[in-house]
Amino acid sequence: MLFSGKNRSKLVGIDIGTTSLKLVELSRAGRSVRVDHYGVEELAPGLIIEHQIKDIDQVSQSLKRLVAKSGTKLKRAAVCVASTNVITKAITVQSEIDEGELEALVEVEADRVVPYALDDVNIDFVNTGKSAQSTDEDQLQLVVCRKNVVESLVSVLEEAELEAAVVDVDHFALARVNDFVSQGHVGGGQARTTALMDFGFNTSRLLVFHNNRIIYSRENPFGGRQLIDSISQKYGLPPQDAAHALRANELAKSFKNEVLKPFVKTLMQEILRTLQFFYSSSTHNRVDQLLITGGCAQIGNIDNFIQKRIEIPTAVLNPFAATRLGSRVDRDRFRRDIPSLGVAAGLALRGLE
């Protein structure tokens, strides 16, 4: 199974990204949610390429270090595959269908969309609620992923002495965070159209939610790599040293005007272009808010720059705005890392369902 059933205990959310590993552990504290542990561990270049783990041993060793530094004692983990590695399809079924008929129907539908043998894939589905056409029908999200993709994640966790209790999809993890954050709005985010731009190292992706459901997604080949490459070319640094200098704020004074400003301008153009694709392919012609997350969201005042350019209320996604921080969490470091923790937070929320 790609996804687990109901969780019986807490989970630690682990986001295995191209350049780093992120970990978040959440718990219930009365009526509120608390961040008990978190951590970020950088990965050496080339260990993960295009969402494929190239060296399971090295990634698992990095994960061991991350777990130890974070202080978490949990052994059950939730991880995710990239949406580019899955095939999804919405299907409608009768609400009273029995389990055997449902499994047979799901397999038939999967066979229609999968371009390879069903023995080579994991198949699962998520019930997303009642159909808009009939209260007697349910809407299901069918999800298919190659087994070798899931098995590589499971192997990394097992070598790090963890159990892969849940294997999710990154889009679903971010949708869970959006729903969690939306609970602070009047009506719980209903009747709102919210765009979420997630900036990765190689790519960025736009998710658009209406009534807290994903109605649009698009991935573009633009991400933090462009900024690192610009720094490397400008200052003659290897990419790894350029990334370290950026994180440590050790670049020359000329960096903001000569490198950062042109990058931010290009970034805003990418956002505008992606939003236009959404508007042209849907009945919507506006969004109520743009949330940004991922590495580029850590650039100081980036939300204000974007908001002025696109004239849409813009904010850095903060999954922890309504949470408490545990006594072992380094508050200053945590605040700096918040923009990169969206997926890990969404995975950790699986343990509170």
What DSSP state is assigned to residue 258? I
DSSP3 helix / strand / coil % (the chain, rounded to 5): 40, 30, 30
pLDDT at 229: 94
Give residue-wise pLDDT tens across range 31-62.
Answer: 889 999 999 999 998 999 988 999 999 999 99
pLDDT at 184: 59
pLDDT of 334: 96
Q: What is the pLDDT of residue 186?
A: 46
Q: CA angle 339-164-110, nearest 5°?
A: 95
Give residue-wise pLDDT tens across range 129-174.
787 777 888 888 899 999 999 999 999 999 999 999 999 999 999 9
Residue-level pLDDT at 258: 94
What pLDDT does residue 183 have?
74
1 — pLDDT class (breaks 50, 70, 90): very low
| pLDDT higher than threshold 90 for residue 192 | no
What residue ranges define each of the domains in the chain, with the CATH number in brackets? Answer: 184-321 (3.30.420.40)
Does residue 6 surpass a pLDDT of 70? no
Tokens 């350029």 sit at which residue?
Answer: 242
Q: Which helix (H) or strand (E) holds 108?
A: helix 99-113
Tell me the pLDDT band of 189, cut-offs 50, 70 and 90: low
Of 74-83, 127-136, 185-194, 335-344, give the lowest mean pLDDT range: 185-194
Reported as a pLDDT band with limits 50, 70 and 90, residue 116 is confident
256 with 234: CB under 8 angstroms? Answer: no
Give the model's confidence band at 23: pLDDT under 50 very low, under 70 low, under 90 confident, else very high: very high
Whether residue 291 has pLDDT greater than 80: yes
User: 119 or 96, which is more confident?
Assistant: 119
Confidence at 182, pLDDT banded by 50, 70, 90: confident
What angle is formed at CA 244 by the lines to CA 241 and CA 250, rounded to 5 degrees?
100
